[in-house]
């Protein structure tokens, strides 16, 4: 039981980072990034290709993450421009549809060019005991990276001028403009950060199991569930929801089966929304 719970936390931390990337972009500009998981997989495949061609894993992973971050910035500056000109519901729907299309394109390209490519990052050495459970080194490194990324992100948002500006745009965009903050510039930077986070998730997942080129849709779905349960726009909410859902998912997958566990996950999400329509820590 402890072993399953610990595995759940490992997965939950990855879910958390996945949800945070989605929730930030949604909170800032109303874009539901339905290509988030596909962007993550793209980072994994770029990394895998580089490793195949002889790059050291650390360098390859770094390039993979940066590449997807740049993709995020480019998408924000091009495809999302007409979306930001819309208001309210129109903006959400148009953004959702365009990003769905981006997801299809990435999926299609990966399946066409690299159908059997997979990223698997292994660590040499014996398992390390944690609370009496022998944990694989990959799981521990993945969790350490997730925790570090989450911690750095929270600190940046809380204590830096740019982080404060980011939160101000989420809370009141007009107020932010009146303070001299350019919401468009904040959105562009954060879309890049969100892309980097997606890439980081793929890298950490690859430390626990192989990431294959068709994993995108699943990752997007999990990220979306986490972001909604945590409360769209809330970073701490996404972390909390990620860990809870990771544990729920792993326990149910272990005792019942992985197909049922996804249904349970959706049920947990739906229940949360019925009880707390704005999510666990939703703002607004």
Partner 1 sequence: MTDELLIVDSLSAGYLGEDVVHDVSLTVAAGEVVAVIGSNGSGKSTMLQSVCGLLAPSGGSVRFDGVELAGVKAHRIARSGLVYVPAERHLFPHMSVRENLFLGAYPTRPSADQLGMVYRVFPRLEERTGQLAGTLSGGEQQMLAVGRALMAGPRLLILDEPSTGLSPILASEAYAALVELRRDGLTVLVAEQQVPLALDLADRGYVLDRGRIELTGTSSQLAADEGVQRAYLGV
Q: Measured from the CB of residue 185, what is the shortest distance to partner 1 in angstroms?
A: 9
**Residue 8, Cβ density class (10 Å: 0-12 exposed, 13-18 middle, ≥19 buried):** buried
Judged by beta carbon, residue 43 or residue 186, the one nearer partner 1 is: 186
Judged by beta carbon, residue 21 or residue 183, the one nearer partner 1 is: 183
Judged by beta carbon, residue 86 or residue 221, the one nearer partner 1 is: 86
Q: Which residues bind partner 1 (CB under 8 A)?
A: 161, 164-165, 167-168, 171-172, 174-183, 283
Judged by beta carbon, residue 42 or residue 235, the one nearer partner 1 is: 235
Q: Measured from the CB of residue 183, what is the shortest distance to partner 1 in angstroms?
A: 8
Three-class secondary structure of residue 118 per DSSP: strand
Q: How many residues does the chain have?
A: 284
Token reading at 201: 């998730």
Judged by beta carbon, residue 52 or residue 172, the one nearer partner 1 is: 172
**Euclidean distance between the first and the last CA atom of the chain, given in angstroms as a whole number:** 38
Buried b (16+ CB within 10 A) or exposed e, 123-147: eeeeeeeeeeeebbebbbebbebbe
Residue 24 and residue 190 in contact, taking contact as beta carbons nearer than 8 Å: yes
Token reading at 281: 């820590």
Token reading at 97: 């549809």
Report the half-sphere exposure of 22 (CA within 13 A, side-chain side). Answer: 37
Q: Measured from the CB of residue 230, what is the shortest distance to partner 1 in angstroms?
A: 15
Rounded CA gap, 274 and 43, in Å? 35
Judged by beta carbon, residue 179 or residue 266, the one nearer partner 1 is: 179
User: How far is CA 50 from its chain centroid?
Assistant: 22
């Amino acid at each position: 039981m402890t072993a399953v719970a610990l595995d759940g936390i490992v997965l939950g931390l990855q879910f958390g980072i996945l949800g945070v990337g989605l929730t930030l972009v949604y909170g800032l500009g109303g874009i539901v990034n339905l290509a988030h998981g596909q962007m993550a997989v793209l980072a994994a495949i770029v990394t895998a290709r580089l490793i195949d061609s002889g790059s050291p894993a650390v360098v390859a992973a770094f390039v993979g993450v940066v590449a997807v971050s740049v993709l995020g910035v480019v998408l924000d500056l091009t495809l999302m421009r007409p979306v930001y000109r819309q208001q309210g519901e129109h903006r959400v729907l148009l953004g959702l549809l365009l990003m769905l299309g981006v997801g299809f394109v990435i999926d299609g390209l990966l399946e066409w060019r690299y159908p059997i490519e997979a990223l698997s990052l292994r660590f040499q050495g014996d398992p390390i005991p944690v609370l009496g459970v022998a944990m694989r080194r990959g799981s521990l490194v993945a969790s350490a990276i997730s925790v570090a990324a989450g911690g750095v992100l929270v600190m940046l948002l809380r204590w830096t001028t740019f982080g404060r500006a980011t939160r101000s745009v989420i809370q009141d965009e007009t107020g932010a403009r009146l303070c001299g903050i350019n919401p468009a510039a904040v959105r562009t930077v954060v879309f890049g950060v969100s892309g980097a986070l997606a890439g980081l998730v793929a890298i950490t997942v690859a430390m626990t199991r192989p990431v294959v080129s068709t994993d995108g849709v699943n990752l997007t779905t999990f990220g979306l569930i986490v972001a909604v349960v945590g409360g769209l726009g809330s970073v701490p909410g996404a972390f909390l929801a990620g860990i809870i859902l990771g544990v729920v998912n792993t326990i149910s997958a272990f005792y019942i089966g992985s197909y049922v566990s996804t249904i349970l996950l959706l049920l947990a999400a739906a229940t949360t929304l019925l009880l707390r329509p704005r999510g666990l820590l939703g703002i607004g």
